[in-house]
Chain A
Amino acid sequence: MFLSMLSEAWHAMGANRLRTFLTMLGMVIGVGAVVLMMAIGAGAQQSIKRSIDSMGTNLFVILSSSSSNSGSRSGSGNSSALSIDDASAIGDLDDIEMIAPISTGNAQIIYAGNNWNTSIIGTTSSYFSIRRWNTESGEIFTEADIRSVSRVAIVGKTVAENLFGENDPIGQIISVKKTPFTVIGLLESKGQSFDGRDQDDVVIVPITTAQRKLFGNQIPGSVRMIMAQAKSEKYMGIAEDTITDLIRQRHNIRENMENDFSVRNLTAIAKSASETTKTMAFLLGAIASISLLVGGIGIMNIMLVSVTERTREIGIRMAIGAREKDILLQFLLEACVISIVGCTIGVALGLGGAFLVKKTFGAEIVISMQSIILAFSVAASVGIFFGYYPASKAAKLQPIDALRYQ
């Protein structure tokens, strides 16, 4: 009995194709938009969150102005560069947990005829703790390696794939600027940074080795930047001031003179990047909600416009013996079938669209069950309500009034 009613409902949908199509279109657009936009928004948030997590927490980067802004300042000699001593002085501050001096540069790396241009970081072992970066295999260098200026290197995933392919990188000898280095560690993958760089495209070596063997043009004992980690989030504000005061004092900068360095709060920058993404996700959600609303109004309009026609149909059916119950069941089923089919197509298209966005733009997407359920239930209930409610009103009329309905 129920099955035959269901097939009747399916039949009725086919009987008025235009109405069915337009109703479903509203659902497809509304539901599809919500699923797609939410997937993109959540994906963006997820990817930025992953990048921020991969960066490490409560971080400052102290840069010398001459290296970050070369040329904007007349070279004021040695005093403008940050030094390893500046780094250890920062490390001695109460608010600071750990520091890592960093020298960076680019270099061509050669291994068995393979070439790869990548960025070289020269630093100390605390860099790995600050960035919470572990090796996937092998190990990191030690204080002893730094003191003895060892030619050891730790490679990122991207570098390893490009130089060694399937082979195990540990123990291989690579040549950087004609200097041979032994690979002692392979880092875990960190993916993209929040400003879009591939963090795995890197080779990390002891800072002493980097300065003496690779970036020979630098002033001895100077570093390009210092990474510092505050003890906890609540020290971030104070630490920025104490670091600034300390370096000004060490660089003998007088009261009315500008800093020859800058202190950047990476956590704050990350936070603002994540705020931006949140705003974007919110906007996408808002656009999707508007689509859902417009789709809902579309569904409602189509359903209400066909009420006249359908009221006469209800009159005819009652005139030949349909009970109120028969009418209600028929219209409820019809509304349910249209809504469920329409919304399912909407979900399918939304997911398909999200997949396409992932494929074509490489954007991360996150399918949230909530968004699917939300969109589905809003569109379906609008469809069911406006399919059912006018019919239930018509079914309460005397048959003759339904037949005469204008």
Chain B
Amino acid sequence: MAKPIIQIKELYKDYQNVAGIFPVLKNVSLTINHGDYVAIMGPSGSGKSTFMNILGCLDRPTKGSYILDSHDVSTLNNNELAKLRNKTIGFVFQGFNLLARSSLVDNVALPLVYAKDQKELRVKISKNILERMGLGQYFDSKPNQISGGQQQRTAIARALVNQPKIILADEPTGNLDSKTTHEIMKIFDELNQIGNTIILITHENDIADHAKRQIHFLDGKILEDHMTEKNKVTV
């Protein structure tokens, strides 16, 4: 049956500054299985991004346990976390976060550099994925020479290049128009169909409806966690 890939118990995160301590995640517990397609929703400031950054090992929780693909993340050192980010997780940001001065191929190949793959192999794999994303003509372009949708597809290509088990996307379509949004969501749908676990943050119901499961955050806690109603799925 369904095997858990993410198990979170009593996850707590606060930010401290001179004005005091601000809890952002208040003892969140959650399990996500292999092959899940999860949309995280909730108002601005409810802690969605903070939560996803911890899932992506970009940040550490203040307290609580997080088991990712049978690794207890709290016991791992920075190098081991880097390896998880490299191999197990593909992260897609709202603002793309591409290296502005590198070509698309170099951007996409970067995770392979840190995985220590040979140069020829890196280039071959990266070109292959860029082709699949419909960016075959733009190998040597710089990010500022292509559209936002193309940049996000490049970022997705980069997230996929090491064949991660989980794809995390923080408002991946937040900066895109509705047509491009639709194209990007189609990519996520296909990725999920071939077995990838996908977790994405969104504000919009029709995007969330692409997912199989929807989790609503409010004020640092999970308010609701339910399956998407089938009849609402848009084509």
Contacts and interface: CB of A to CB of B under 8 A. Distances in A.
Interface of A: 1, 4, 8, 12, 15-16, 312-313, 315-326, 398-401, 403
B9 to A, nearest CB: 21
A312 B87 CA distance: 21
Nearest to B159: A320
26 contacts: A4-B119, A8-B113, A312-B97, A315-B97, A317-B110, A317-B114, A318-B58, A319-B58, A319-B85, A320-B86, A321-B82, A321-B85, A321-B87, A321-B111, A321-B162, A322-B114, A323-B78, A323-B82, A398-B58, A398-B59, A398-B60, A399-B58, A400-B53, A400-B58, A403-B58, A403-B97
A257 B98 CA distance: 94
Interface in B58-101: 58-60, 78-79, 82-83, 85-87, 91, 93, 97-99, 101
Of A316, A321, A401, most buried by chain B (CB within 10 Å of CB) is A321
B99 A316 contact: yes
A357 B38 CA distance: 74
A322 B59 contact: no
Of B91, B97, B116, most buried by chain A (CB within 10 Å of CB) is B97
Contact of B114 (A15, A320, A400): A320
Contacts of A312: 97
Nearest to A5: B113
Nearest to B91: A319
Of A318, A319, A320, A399, most buried by chain B (CB within 10 Å of CB) is A320
B30 interface: no
Given A15-B101, A399-B85, A403-B97, A321 B114 contact: yes
Contacts of A1: 116
By size class, the interface of chain B is: 20 to 34
B49 to A, nearest CB: 9
Contacts of B147: none
Nearest to A4: B119
A330 to B, nearest CB: 10
Nearest to B79: A323
Interface of B: 53, 56-60, 78-79, 82-83, 85-87, 91, 93, 97-99, 101-102, 110-111, 113-116, 119, 158, 162
B83 A321 contact: yes
Contacts of A320: 85-86, 91, 110-111, 114, 158
Contact of B85 (A318, A325, A401): A318
Contacts of A317: 110, 114
Nearest to A12: B101
Given A15-B102, A399-B85, A324 B79 contact: yes
B86 A316 contact: no
Contacts of A399: 57-59, 85
Contacts of A321: 82-83, 85-87, 111, 114-115, 162
A188 to B, nearest CB: 64
Nearest to B83: A321
Nearest to B110: A320
A20 to B, nearest CB: 11
Nearest to A402: B58
Contacts of A315: 97
A324 B83 CA distance: 11
Contacts of B101: 12, 15-16
B82 A322 contact: yes
Nearest to B53: A400
Nearest to A399: B58
5 closest A-B pairs by beta carbon, nearest first, are: A321-B86, A15-B101, A321-B114, A400-B58, A399-B58
